[in-house]
Amino acid sequence: MKSIIFIAPPAAGKGTQAVMLSSKYNIPHISTGDILRNAQDDTERGKYISSEMAKGHFISDEIILELLTERLSQSDCENGYILDGFPRNIKQAEEYEEILNKLNKDLGIVIVLDIDKEIAKERIVGRISCPKCGSVFNDMIEESMPKEAGICDKCKTKLKKREDDNAESFEVRFEGYLAKTEPLIEYYQNKNILYRVDSSLGKDITFNQIEDILRGSK
């Protein structure tokens, strides 16, 4: 099984696909956000990370790369993994490859989840989630609406909307993706390891496209 890097704008379904792949192929889904949260311990580094995140500050690439190296060195990554949220720019991509060289790991493949901007915005603006069980719904997309308006289908808890799930925040995040992350597409295209998937067609169709890529890239 090859390791996978996802490149995707907001609301393209990157997290959903990563979870589905991790479950089916029994490989770890490695999120930089999770790595940072798990690193908040009683060590000097852990206390620093906790303090900086509480202030809303970005954590330096140096620390993220250190944590990522430690995570990729663990035994469950020997047969591949899914990398979510990293790299975000070409500098990080180059540093990531240095880590792989040290660990004697293959770069794997890169999958771009393409989605129309307006469809992505609809997913973000209409997204509502359950604070108890984590289930996610959308009150603007018929197939994703809860059966009872504002109530979780699974545990009947009142659904909530995240503060940053609004049109203004989406525009900022989408433009940030275009400016900083999209250049990675050309970078990986030149390495002949990049594939594209239409993620606007629903999670199951998107997943089938990804599986076709995995079968063809072995």
Positions marked active-site: 14, 88, 127, 162, 173
Q: How many CA atoms lie within 13 A of 1 on its CB side?
A: 19
Which residues, 6 or more positions from 58, have their beta carbon under 8 angstroms from its beta carbon? 52
Paired tokens of 185: 């597409």
Would you say 35 and 71 are in contact if contact means Cβ atoms under 8 Å apart? yes
* C-alpha distances out from residue 40 to 34, 48, 75, 209, Å: 10, 8, 22, 37
Question: H or E stretch including 144?
Answer: none
Q: Is 57 left (phi over 0), alpha (psi -120 to 50) or beta?
A: beta
Would you say 19 and 29 are in contact if contact means Cβ atoms under 8 Å apart? yes
Give the Cα separation of 69 and 65 in Å (integer): 6
Nearest to 97 by CA among 85, 107, 86, 110: 107
Pairing relation of β-strands 127-129 and 109-114? unpaired
